[in-house]
Structure 1
Amino acid sequence: MRALLLAACAGAFAAPATASDLWDRFQSPPADARPMLRWWWFGPAVTDAEIDREIRAMKAGGFGGFEVQPTYPLTPDDPQAGRVNIPFLSKDFVARLAHAGETARAEKMRIDVTIGTGWPFGGAHVPVTEAAALIRKVDLPVAAGRDRIVLPPLPAGETYLAAFLSGRRVLIADGAVAVTPPAGGRTLTVFVAGRTGQQVKRAAVGGEGFVIDHVDAAAVTHHLRVVGDRLLDAFPKSAPPYAMFSDSLEAYGSSWTGDLPAEFRKRRGYELLDHLPALFDTGAESAGVRHDWALTLSELVDERYLTPIDAWAKAHGTRFRAQVYGFPPPRLSSNALVALPEGEGAPWRRFTSTRWATSAAHLYGKPVVSSETWTWLHSPSWAATPLDMKVEADRHFLQGVNQLIGHGWPYSAPGLAEPGWAFYAASALNDHNPWYVAMPAVTRYLTRASAMLREGAPADQVAIYLPTEDAFAALTPADASVDKAMARYLPEDMIAPVLDAGFGFDFVDAQAVTAGKLTARILILPALERIDAAAYAAIAHWKAKGGIVIAIDHAPNLSGGLIDGAEATRRVHAIGSGIFAGGGRIVARGALAAALRAAATPDVALTKADPRIGFVHRKLDGGDLYFVANTSETAIETRARFIGDNQRGAWWDAETGRRWASGTGDIPIRLAPYESRFLLFEKDADALPAEPVHAERIVADLSRDWSLTLGGQAAGKPGAAALWTQGGANQSFSGSGVYRRTIMLGALPAGRLSLDFGKGVPTAAEPDGRADRPRAMLAPPVREAAIVTINGKPAGTLWAPPYRLDVTGLLKPGANQIAVTVMNGALNALAARGPVDQQVLSLRYGERFTDQDQKLVVSQPSGLTGPITLVAD
């Protein structure tokens, strides 16, 4: 099965390369692997001069490009200050977008454009007849003696679908329903094709209006003509944006479209209007009807939203990048319909839409897959640190991501008090952030990691079948999202055991299985009640060729919708009997890890399972590649065996750009908190020295005798390397502090010399912390990043564990000058200023956003904590 996997992927992923080629790309990765940024244009109140300045600042920070998203205003018009909100899609707006494209091309930066403003798609051009649609029910009491019920008038864009009395459908004629007396005490239930009324969230000025009906072909076409084509007017036909973007489908409550009954009848073979109560109740037929209704909606999302937008993008010489999940309900295989699938969500040991997107990319041969990264990271805005960025990025890498779309870069008008503008719900990663000068070191790591994770082909041995059919049967009009439902059907205790057993995995769904995309060695059926009969038959065929099937708790026992359910269920029973009588296994979920280890050799076999360690395995033409990460705030020292370790192995450090021999067999793994490395096994790899051992032989204790300047001003007498905020002093200072001292050395010891700044202290989560606000649970010895020079020459940047720099060759006998420029974050200055009064802004434009977690805007410890030592290895 491994050979089958590699054969299927060979044409879609990176071409084979020699070991020296790979090392060269590791040292100087391709520019297209650099992280990107979502660039929020607030208002938009943007100018050509500031657009140019910010694009060049992004490039200087090591970012490869940006996605333009016009969003809500942050200032009333103030012409004297040079801040005027330009209406979305106006001539001036298109001119500003055109200028951004020109500058991006000049700077060799990638530019993507959101096909709208805010999210989801919509705006002033959307009439109520093309607005997001829903089905709702209305219960009307029937008074005794009445023989006719006049239905109340409906708002524009809404229509009555059907009425039911005592469980039977009754005719609606001339806006009324005839009832047969006596009718007292009964209830007439009427179903309405209505509108959600949802407005575009976080809209720019001029972008306000209804959200479109995503399953209405006319609405989608109209949006592309009015918005998409207008945005492309900003670009020469010979130089379109790299990609056009759709955010996640957050059209909450979307559950209908005008011709759904006709499409349902054509696809499912019966009349939906006769069964509308089933969408809202739990009767005997309800699950089958809901399954058929949700499946029909999902097909329409594919056919009327994803497919035409992808075709439109291709016709204009660009690509469609999309987050293919949400409301109304796409399926995992819907990702196959877009050029560039994208996910979001960092919890790598649970179901996320990140692994939803990467799985589809692996199944359908899409070598680059992105993720929305750093949204809500260490909220509030400006709190995120370089280490926070690494913590979340690594958790996306562990799910198969190899292109980061960072959230993000807030455009900020010149002349504002620092740090300027920020988006209400995401990290502020622009050059107004005091530690931005360290960003090139951060992006160098992220670029190397992204580039390496594009090498070769994915080598996951395990596939987990998504319970999409179960989700379809349980969806309701108020909550019609497949990916959201997965958290209920795929809890962590069905996913984490796969990782703990040492296997990588992808999700698969019925469409992928029936399309022949199941190429893993092992398939897990996670306590399914329903399974598509055709997909089950394909699984049986795959098993006959050597595949291994493991069902958790029980085999599936249902299939199909209302009409074909009985026959499809008989097929499911027959297929299941063959699978499980012929070697398929049914295990309790608590026994899953053991069953996997018994079925196949793990990719990574740790001496002892450790949920802190994550890995990605990719197959190279001449060997095996692993990304190995410590996802915790504590150091790890263990051993592991890896598939492919019969070849020469080496650790490659994406942060430092160094490599050393790993050995084979039981390979030692030593990782500092949140540290990560690549492990390569290649037959033609260079012979390398052994892993360096950080022996704690202290040459000199440098913890004292430091001078400190803040903002160019002396900050007290020379003393220990300590936080400049301790004791209450300098609490409101955000910026750079420079620690300086002289060290006298005699004859330098042989071997490598390293400057060690300490290990950091694990911290506990805040009592009101939220799982969707990820952050590093470590108080580092450097708050938050530092650039070190020795004798006027750069020694490196400190931003993540281990906080240690190789300074061999920079020191000399005699006097040595050491300078450590430490940058903190912007919260200290913001805490002293207090919250911004948005009353005038809200009165002018309405309340379009609420800044999040403002009670957490407090001064943070800043500077160095020590101890600082010079050590010899």
Structure 2
Amino acid sequence: MKRAAMRWNATLGVLALACLVHGSAQTLSSLRSGFADPPSDAKPMVRWWWFGPAVEQPELARELDAMHAAGIGGVELAAEYPLTLDDPARHLVNLRYGSPEYLDMVHFAEDHARALGMRVDLTLGSGWPFGGPEVSLADAAGKLKIVAVPLGAADAKLPQSAEGDTFIAAFVVDGTPAHYDAEHARQITSNTMPASLESAAGKPEVELFFFASHTRQQVKRAAFGGEGYVLDHMSKAAVDHYLDAVGSTLLRGFPDKPPYAIFSDSLEVYGADWTGALPEEFQRRRGYSLIPYLPLLAQGSTPQADAVRHDWAETLSDMVRDNYLLTVAQFAAAHGTRFRSQTYGTPGVTLFDEHVPQLPEGEGPQWRSFSFTRWASSANHIFGNDVTSAETFTWLHSPAFRATPLDMKAEADRMFLEGVNQIIGHGYPYSAPGVEEPGWSLYAAAALNDHNPWWPVMPDVTRYLTRVSWMLRQGKPANDVAILLPEADAQAAFRPGHVSVTEEMPHHITPALMGAVLDAGYNLDYLDLASAEARGIGYPVVVVPPTHRLSLRGLDVLQAYAAKGGKLIFIGDTPTLAAGQSDRLDHAKVEQGVAALLRQSVHVRDESELGAALAKAMPPDVELGDAAGKLGFLHRHLPSSDIYFLVNTSNQPVRWAPHVRAHRSIAEWWNPETGNVTMAVTDQVIVLPPYASRLLVLHDGPGISTAAAPQRATEQHATALGPWQIEFPGSAGSKPEPAERDQADTVWTDNAATRFYSGEAIYRTQVQVSAAEIGGPISLEFAPSLPIEDTQLPNKPGTRAWIDPPVREAAIVFVNGKRAGSLWHPPYALALTGLLHSGENSIELHVYNTAINELAGEPPRDYSALKAKYGDRFQMQDMNNLEPVPSGIRGPVRLVFGESEGAE
């Protein structure tokens, strides 16, 4: 290594020793052996959707065998809405969810999967969120119901309480139902509903009635027999009853060994802002009664109202944590399994609450804006968990069956940049035998099963995902910067019906803030003050975004951090307000304490000044240069080495010279697709093709034993391949006849006869190679990928690769009958050295597209009879007006003789 810029300061960018990963490779030799042959627990998993559930054992076994052969390491069993009417003659019967017949299928599937060495997780309910017929209205999700009656109005009358409502209190306030003076509200009764309205006082007045009510939300996408109310996640009695009635029943499907984990999807209990015991818990936890402040809670818009709302939000979080998260985690432990949880959403959990489930999980590839994925990985880094899983491919290149292997890579790489090292693919749709191709699919998600024509390259995709996942589990996370989440501000912004910290966070953790840190050459985690208080702050730099409120305990945490040499960077507005009413509104103490912190910290006006401030605090981990905004990285530190995962997230090539802060004597490129290792020259500019990724491993030796790299050929030349004989074996749809195509006619959707064909096309040609040409490097190269405009709406979920590749969508290459490799992402080039001989050689390209073309040629599917029987449980996304997608190859396709950098 020539470049002194590669240096590592062991005191920088490493979390506290509590985050040490147990069981990771601690020596270079064990790292090499694990990379060459990663353990099966690093393989990607899939969410396995059982629709109906109308499943039968032979197909369950066949699908598990197909997954296993493709390199998928496990399944998460998830029962969803029916997709067929019962037809016993075709073995189509929707089994009632939780019935003995259904549990028999669960037992069969888990037994077969385990025989294959696959992991099995179980969703602890049908659809989401948890709920169903076992949940009574009393145990259903709760909400605060507010009725405002204008006194003196001709139609003024007492409100009628609905079934399940419990009266809390009534008040009289000056004003109108839309705007009233909450601070001077007069409580007229509590516990007992008034017999009549108050008399009008000759001025605009309103009588406010507060009830503990229920959202009446139904389970989303419920299976047959899984319909019913969503559970009250803040009631321990309700959660206990659910676990006894549903959880224990489902676990009977695992009589021999419990599932690896039980799973809960994201908290989407819409509007759940109340539970029956909340007033008592609020009094106990916050030290004062909430009841007199209900008008303030409802109306907001004053500093005191914000303080009360903050304390209400904290209590909601406390109750979800203690009564739901902790209860389910204890249930899991008692049954010999683990609780895997997506702990974000509604009701208003905090980052600190992520420490309760044994396996926190995220979702979302938004690596340059606020994301649930980084929320989960940050908590795992803080609390020392080894593995961060993430629901991946949820909205990947909608509609279903449109996503390609390249799309998968583009999203998975972004998840890796956010700290993920266990992919949970979303997902694998069970499809009954005999169903019209391409079979069943979820209403919105990638269809990652063998009904998708490009399935033959799935083993290559999973091999890549497995190696990267395993490598990113090694050592300790080396993120330098923690962004302090303004949770107190988010909680003060709660209002009835809207109680989610994570929904508020994008207003505070903006793309501008994320970009300023990432583009300056640092990776980051989120941090909240409760987690910092519990675990300490192990980050060399903490960035405090514009923040208005700070709890007194949080102030103490920051002061202790600064006193130990921690570096604080404040942006814009600094805290001047105590967080809540329970802090006795001691704003002066907060303002004085922050002023003292500012004297020993850095304060910048806005995000535009943050990069320079970070550079003064510590050297960047990666010098990005012109690649900033496109090149992302993740760094893991081991005693024997440092690992950098690098990704070009853009649709155009990126040039970059490898300058990183870690200092080791040897640098190597480790190829996660092939397992090959080559020496890296750290001052040599490399070109990363669109959506390409690299693993840079630095260590102190010994290095690999390799001969000197061959010099670039001075007389490089190329031979164009073609014409092509094309055959359509017909893995789906029709089977067109073989056809002779010239070099310019290799996109089969240009031909009316194959316009709606989905499946495999075999391109064959012959090429003459001389004995002189055999002596040097030879590669197969396609035309460059063409960038296309990103038309993704900012608020629309999901991702895709924004290029037009020369191979649509994947290919396996055979030379003289021998498999040479696959092509499914840039660069669309493949080394053929040693596979050709002098004379005539045969080259075959087995090209696979998606199932969209076949779907585009079919009439829209009619779900009216299905919905007439089971109700409208799903709405297929983006399936209207489908058009065939260009399929085949785009030329020229060349054999390149001599050293080549590829086609991109």
* Counterpart residue number, 1:765: 790
Q: Does 1:120 align with 2:129?
A: yes
1:490 deviates by 1.2
Consecutive unaligned residues of structure 2, counting only runs of 5 or more, are 1-8, 174-184, 731-735, 900-904
Q: Secondary structure at the match of 2:659?
A: strand
Superposed CA offset, 1:675-731 (max 9, x none): 001001100141456778887965442332211001265432242161111244411
1:75 deviates by 0.6
Q: Does 1:786 align with 2:811?
A: yes
712, 724, 744: which is aligned to 2:748? 724
835, 854, 864: which is aligned to 1:810? 835
The answer to whether the Cα contact below 8 Å between 2:723 and 2:740 also exists between their aligned partners in 1 is no
* Counterpart residue number, 2:420: 401
| Paired letter, 1:335 | E
Residues 242 and 693 from structure 1, CA distance in 2 versus in 1: closer, same or farther, beyond 3 angstroms?
Answer: farther
* Counterpart residue number, 1:304: 323
Matches within 5 A, 1:383-782: 383-567=402-586, 569-664=587-682, 666-687=683-704, 688=706, 699-711=717-729, 714-720=737-743, 722-747=746-771, 748-766=773-791, 771-782=796-807
Moved more, 679-688 or 177-186: 177-186
Superposed CA offset, 1:18-55 (max 9, x none): 32321221121110000000000000000011110111
* Alignment partners' CA distance in 2, 1:691 and 1:578: 58
* Counterpart residue number, 2:310: 291
1:658 deviates by 2.2
1:856 deviates by 5.7
Residues 487 and 189 from structure 1, CA distance in 2 versus in 1: closer, same or farther, beyond 3 angstroms?
Answer: same
* Alignment partners' CA distance in 2, 1:619 and 1:402: 15
| Paired letter, 2:870 | Y
Q: Secondary structure at the match of 1:725?
A: helix
* Alignment partners' CA distance in 2, 1:255 and 1:583: 38
Residues 348 and 145 from structure 1, CA distance in 2 versus in 1: closer, same or farther, beyond 3 angstroms?
Answer: closer
Superposed CA offset, 1:453-490 (max 9, x none): 00111011110000100000011121110011101111
Residues 856 and 429 from structure 1, CA distance in 2 versus in 1: closer, same or farther, beyond 3 angstroms?
Answer: farther
Residues 855 and 685 from structure 1, CA distance in 2 versus in 1: closer, same or farther, beyond 3 angstroms?
Answer: farther
| Paired letter, 2:438 | P
- What is the aligned-residue RMSD (CA, Å)? 2.0
| Paired letter, 2:609 | A
The answer to whether the Cα contact below 8 Å between 1:790 and 1:818 also exists between their aligned partners in 2 is yes
Moved more, 756-765 or 208-217: 756-765
1:585 deviates by 3.3
The answer to whether the Cα contact below 8 Å between 1:661 and 1:689 also exists between their aligned partners in 2 is no
* Alignment partners' CA distance in 2, 1:488 and 1:851: 31
1:9 deviates by 4.0
* Counterpart residue number, 1:841: 866
Moved more, 809-818 or 574-583: 574-583
* Alignment partners' CA distance in 2, 1:145 and 1:232: 58
Q: Secondary structure at the match of 1:432?
A: coil
Residues 626 and 480 from structure 1, CA distance in 2 versus in 1: closer, same or farther, beyond 3 angstroms?
Answer: same
Residues 116 and 65 from structure 1, CA distance in 2 versus in 1: closer, same or farther, beyond 3 angstroms?
Answer: same
* Alignment partners' CA distance in 2, 1:696 and 1:77: 69
Q: Secondary structure at the match of 1:822?
A: strand
| Paired letter, 2:638 | L
| Paired letter, 1:239 | K
1:560 deviates by 2.8
Q: Secondary structure at the match of 1:717?
A: strand
869, 879, 885: which is aligned to 1:854? 879
1:132 deviates by 0.5
| Paired letter, 1:298 | S
1:416 deviates by 0.9
1:439 deviates by 0.3
Residues 31 and 693 from structure 1, CA distance in 2 versus in 1: closer, same or farther, beyond 3 angstroms?
Answer: farther
The answer to whether the Cα contact below 8 Å between 1:742 and 1:817 also exists between their aligned partners in 2 is yes
The answer to whether the Cα contact below 8 Å between 1:503 and 1:602 also exists between their aligned partners in 2 is yes
The answer to whether the Cα contact below 8 Å between 1:214 and 1:220 also exists between their aligned partners in 2 is yes
351, 356, 380: which is aligned to 2:399? 380
* Counterpart residue number, 1:254: 272
* Counterpart residue number, 1:332: 351
TM-score by length of 1: 0.96
The answer to whether the Cα contact below 8 Å between 1:171 and 1:178 also exists between their aligned partners in 2 is no
The answer to whether the Cα contact below 8 Å between 2:198 and 2:207 also exists between their aligned partners in 1 is no
* Alignment partners' CA distance in 1, 2:714 and 2:518: 34
* Alignment partners' CA distance in 2, 1:2 and 1:502: 17
* Alignment partners' CA distance in 1, 2:711 and 2:512: 37
1:162 deviates by 1.3
Q: Secondary structure at the match of 1:252?
A: coil
1:334 deviates by 0.9
Q: Does 1:103 align with 2:112?
A: yes
Consecutive unaligned residues of structure 1, counting only runs of 5 or more, are none
* Counterpart residue number, 1:92: 101
* Alignment partners' CA distance in 1, 2:193 and 2:887: 73
Residues 303 and 629 from structure 1, CA distance in 2 versus in 1: closer, same or farther, beyond 3 angstroms?
Answer: same
* Counterpart residue number, 2:87: 78
| Paired letter, 2:409 | K
Q: Does 1:50 align with 2:67?
A: no
Q: Does 1:163 align with 2:170?
A: yes
1:2 deviates by 5.2
* Alignment partners' CA distance in 2, 1:767 and 1:378: 10
1:347 deviates by 1.2
Q: Secondary structure at the match of 1:140?
A: strand
| Paired letter, 1:405 | I
* Counterpart residue number, 2:180: none
* Alignment partners' CA distance in 2, 1:6 and 1:16: 18
Q: Secondary structure at the match of 2:539?
A: coil
Residues 170 and 81 from structure 1, CA distance in 2 versus in 1: closer, same or farther, beyond 3 angstroms?
Answer: same
* Counterpart residue number, 1:151: 158
The answer to whether the Cα contact below 8 Å between 1:410 and 1:428 also exists between their aligned partners in 2 is yes
Q: Secondary structure at the match of 2:468?
A: helix
* Alignment partners' CA distance in 1, 2:117 and 2:513: 45
Superposed CA offset, 1:124-161 (max 9, x none): 01110111000121111323799xx8633312111121
Superposed CA offset, 1:547-598 (max 9, x none): 110000132111231242432x333223222222124434422100111111
The answer to whether the Cα contact below 8 Å between 1:703 and 1:866 also exists between their aligned partners in 2 is no
TM-score by length of 2: 0.93
The answer to whether the Cα contact below 8 Å between 2:405 and 2:824 also exists between their aligned partners in 1 is yes
Moved more, 757-766 or 496-505: 757-766
| Paired letter, 1:446 | L
1:280 deviates by 2.2
Q: Does 1:134 align with 2:151?
A: no
The answer to whether the Cα contact below 8 Å between 1:34 and 1:447 also exists between their aligned partners in 2 is yes
Count residues in correspondence. Answer: 868
* Counterpart residue number, 2:176: none
The answer to whether the Cα contact below 8 Å between 1:345 and 1:352 also exists between their aligned partners in 2 is yes
The answer to whether the Cα contact below 8 Å between 2:113 and 2:119 also exists between their aligned partners in 1 is yes
* Alignment partners' CA distance in 2, 1:60 and 1:24: 22
